[in-house]
Chain A
Amino acid sequence: MDLNFSQEEIAFRDEVRSFLDTRLPRHLADKVREGAHLTKADMQEWHAILQQRGWLASHWPKEWGGPGWTPIEKFLFENECAQAYAPRPVPFGTHMLGPALIKYGTEEQKRRWLPRMLDGSDWWCQGYSEPGAGSDLAALTTSAVRRTDERGECYVVNGQKIWTTLAQHANMIFCLVRTDPQAKKQEGISFLLVDMKTSGVEVRPIITLDGAHDVNEVFFTDVRVPAENLVGMENKGWDCAKYLLTFERTDIAGVGQSVAALSRLRQLAGTVHRGGRPLLQDPLFAARLARVEIELENMKTTNLRVLASAARGAAPGVETSILKIRGTEIRQEITSLNRRAMGVYARPLPEASPGDGQSPGLSAPQGAASAAAQYFNQRKLSIFGGSNEIQKNIIAKMMMGR
């Protein structure tokens, strides 16, 4: 048993740290720390900085322009980034589709799409969920019918996707579509790349309860997609989709985010007052904080155990689901404590909250403006990416069979 990182790993971590010290723009880190909304330009700026260092496609092998990191190096990188309040790269292109293309794509597809992810030419979004296919993703009904027209072989896509994150910025979407309505659920699904400028694609915003616009509906009406945009074999898209979903296992627990959020919360609780003393000295609040700290300490090691086994090449089992469930519970609890710490100042709305510059002299604690909105927004963590209920089904099925 050795809980320490090796010399090389520590040297790597220090290299990441000094990169972040010098290259992470202050205005981006400030926004992330405050939970402020990142614009498309903000995200593009950070992507370009990472790409310049060769670290944008952190999951890719060297051959295609990635750093070729081990799972432990990926973890160290993500962890350091989170603790420095770096924006999380938008995952759909480089973190999700990229690895899937590298595994399932043709040479032609890899050469065409991978460089465009790196240089920011394409902004990808993910077309998985549908109104009738959420947790039961394989029930999806968006159809793609293959045919030949004057321009060649193509698919014609009809249907609707929902909860499509940042589709309003995207020019490309990768979709799961049904190509064989006769086949059993998982077997008639294919994986298609769709140019969102094609006629028949329409994006409509969904505003979430915190007033934010992060997710969308995407409608497809007789959308023509060249057949060369099929990834993998027709009717075998489910393998590709599953592969891409399990790829996030080094980061799914969000340990780095939790460590950063907790240290910020601790700082806040030391400065705001409740009942005539710092909130940190309130025994009930301190106990809440201690509970989540303990849970996070345990989670750190659980996460490292999973990493170590991934590094040995072991196939993922229940642990991805464990990390997802408990990791999101911890993150949600921290946002809940952060909201609680704001006291009466949790209620004023983000754009209107006093104390954030617009109204000098007002005494809302730092970050009060977005604490409640963040808390409500982060309810999504236990819903998306396979809801926590679905993750529990996976654990139960693996442990007890059925």
Chain B
Amino acid sequence: MNFEQSSEHKMLADSLDRFLSENYSFETRMSIVQRGDGFSLDIWTKLVEIGALAALFPEEAGGFGGRGFDIATVFESLGRKLVVEPIMGTMMVGRAIEAVKNEAHRSLLASLMEGDLIAALAHDEPGEPVAPQQVTVSAEHSADGWLIQGRKAVVPYAAVANVLLVSAMTLDGVALILVPSNSPGLSTLPYSVIDGGCAADVIFDRVVVPRDALLAGPGLADSLLEQIQGLGLVALCAEALGAMDVAIRDTIQYLQTRRQFGTELSNFQALQHRVADLVIEIEQVRSAVINAAASLDQLRIPRERALSSAKFTVGRVGARVAEECIQLHGGIGMSWELPLAHYAKRLVMIDHQHGDQDFHLARFMALNGAESACLSRCSRRGRE
């Protein structure tokens, strides 16, 4: 048993933290999110240079990591600085390509890993998060390849992405298709998001892509989608943990310096207990992230249970940390000028990505049901 970070992970975190503290101040971040495309190409390029992306890919693909704890390490650092650059989308799409190992997409993967191209996963749709069988964007065979129709909702950085990995329903089930963003008929409606950065709705109006744009067809796509969403869940949960650590640190600092009634706020027991409650919650989140990162090497049901329980925990605790840290600050906690307010917004909005806490609680219960059904089948078989 050893919960120490490995020396490689320490080095990775150190170099990311050092880069971000030198290049990604709060002011820089705020000026980045307020411009039109909501990200900095310069920062993106440098993040790729120092290996933030390579750490998310296995060696076979030219990376130097790609396991759960590599992803958690990178995103925890990004979360501490509220980094908005589209690393998560590029990771998920790149890892999907890497998993399929199709020769036709090898050069695309290389370009993604070099940081020359940006990718986004276009899966969510209006009002319907995440369940693959509910995808309404359609794909049908045409003379020239695949004909795609429909609409995706709130795809992070869809307007700056060069390529979208689109989940689409075919006659035989859901498929994953790589669609260049400059395809005729594809349009984006971009907007800023409240927690910083950009997203867009994507409309496919008779978009045609060649046959080999299909990354995974029915049968394979379901599990591939689940697999890369799992990577996304580890990333989001670790990002939230990084943001929570900063939120509680700032709040404790504030309570130790703000004086009311002739003493520092940190001397009031009622407030001390509230900080203690948050510390407990955040340590539980830290464990949930460890469980989720470790689960990527496990079989499907234990893996997905760990992922859903982590995302549930992060959703529940994220909102609590956000609300409590604002409240403990008082009025100043509501002001735009204070970094804390932006950490709070990100923490709450993480619950609106890749399924919220209710979704993951229900999913956890369903997975429990599936597991006990399997166990009772197995034990019956054992008795026979």
Contacts and interface: CB of A to CB of B under 8 A. Distances in A.
| Bind each other | yes
Interface stretch (B238-246, B279-287, B345-353): B345-353
Contacts of B154: 344-345, 347-348
Given A211-B336, A348-B199, A383 B126 contact: no
A41 B153 CA distance: 36
A340 B271 CA distance: 28
Interface in B265-282: 270-271
B156 to A, nearest CB: 9
A365 B335 contact: no
A162 B193 CA distance: 29
Contacts of B261: 135-136, 139
B15 interface: no
B334 A383 contact: yes
Contacts of A359: 189, 201
A284 B335 CA distance: 33
Nearest to A342: B352
A382 interface: yes
A191 B326 CA distance: 30
A379 B334 contact: yes
B11 interface: no
Nearest to A287: B358
B260 interface: yes
B153 A363 contact: yes
A344 B153 contact: yes
A210 to B, nearest CB: 8
Contact of B126 (A336, A352, A363): A363
Interface stretch (B111-119, B128-136, B160-168): B128-136
B127 A365 contact: yes
Interface residues of A, number: 58
A134 interface: yes
A282 interface: yes
Nearest to B328: A389
Nearest to B263: A136
B191 A348 contact: yes
Contacts of B382: none
A346 B151 contact: no
A348 to B, nearest CB: 5
Given A209-B344, A364-B126, A162 B331 contact: yes
A272 B349 CA distance: 19
B160 to A, nearest CB: 16
Nearest to B319: A336
A206 interface: yes
Contacts of B349: 346-347, 372
B327 interface: yes
A347 B335 contact: no
A357 interface: no
Contact of B194 (A135, A347, A363): A347
Contacts of A210: 194
A340 to B, nearest CB: 6
Given A209-B344, A372-B349, A285 B192 contact: no
Contacts of A345: 126-127, 153-154
B356 interface: yes
A382 to B, nearest CB: 6
Interface of B: 124, 126-129, 131, 134, 151, 153-154, 189, 191-195, 199, 201, 259-261, 270-271, 319, 323, 326-327, 330-331, 333-337, 341-342, 344-345, 348-349, 351-353, 356, 358-359, 361-362
- A-B pairs with the 9 shortest C-beta distances? A352-B191, A363-B126, A209-B341, A136-B260, A207-B336, A347-B193, A284-B358, A344-B154, A273-B127
28 contacts: A133-B260, A134-B260, A139-B261, A206-B337, A207-B335, A207-B336, A208-B341, A275-B359, A336-B319, A339-B348, A344-B153, A347-B195, A348-B191, A348-B199, A352-B192, A353-B191, A363-B126, A364-B153, A373-B194, A376-B334, A379-B323, A379-B326, A379-B333, A380-B331, A382-B327, A383-B326, A384-B331, A389-B270
Given A210-B194, A284-B361, A354-B201, 11 more contacts: A132-B259, A206-B337, A208-B336, A275-B134, A345-B126, A347-B199, A352-B191, A365-B127, A375-B348, A376-B348, A382-B327
